[in-house]
Amino acid sequence: MVCVVLFFWPSILFSVDLGHMARLAIENSIEMRRLEHKIRVSEIGAREKWGQFTPTVSLSASRTHTDQEKPSDVQKRESDYSISVTQALYQPDLLLNHEEAILNIDISSMQLQQVRENLLKEVLSTTLDICRLRSRLNVTEHSLDFV
């Protein structure tokens, strides 16, 4: 946390907590929230595309049981169980889709970092502008006191 205190003889003009201002700016930035959401969606998409490469396992079971009322009839009982494992064939398009999703995450992360840096520069610049204006105001007020 950076705290800037501006002095103008003989009194303190004001004090600004830049850390608090930066946190407020980041929390209230719609662009940053949009990019964070875009990163989460891209991560989910990358996992989904990676899942296309993993084997698929399915299990099925069925049983048929028939009771006949007459003892002379043959009772029919059947059981059928199966397990199947399938693996997707290698398809370059699937790999390219996964790599594209990873690149989208990286691009969105870089955009988020750029937006954060620009936002912090804006906060700092605005704070310095306010400091300059208050200093000028104080100088003007002191010069009017002498008149």
What does the pLDDT look like over 89-124, one tens digit per residue?
A: 777 888 888 899 999 999 999 999 999 999 999 988
Displacement of CA 53 from its chain's centroid (Å): 25
One-character DSSP codes across 70-116: STTSPPEEEEEEEEEEE-PPP-HHHHHHHHHHHHHHHHHHHHHHHHH
> d(Cα 147, Cα 140) in Å, to the nearest integer?
11
| Residue written as token pair 């209230």 | 28
Residue 114 corresponds to which tokens in the numbers above?
Answer: 């750029």
What does the pLDDT look like over 24-79, one tens digit per residue?
A: 889 999 999 999 999 999 999 999 888 877 777 777 777 766 666 665 655 666 67
> d(Cα 31, Cα 16) in Å, to the nearest integer?
25
**pLDDT of 15 over the 50 cut:** yes
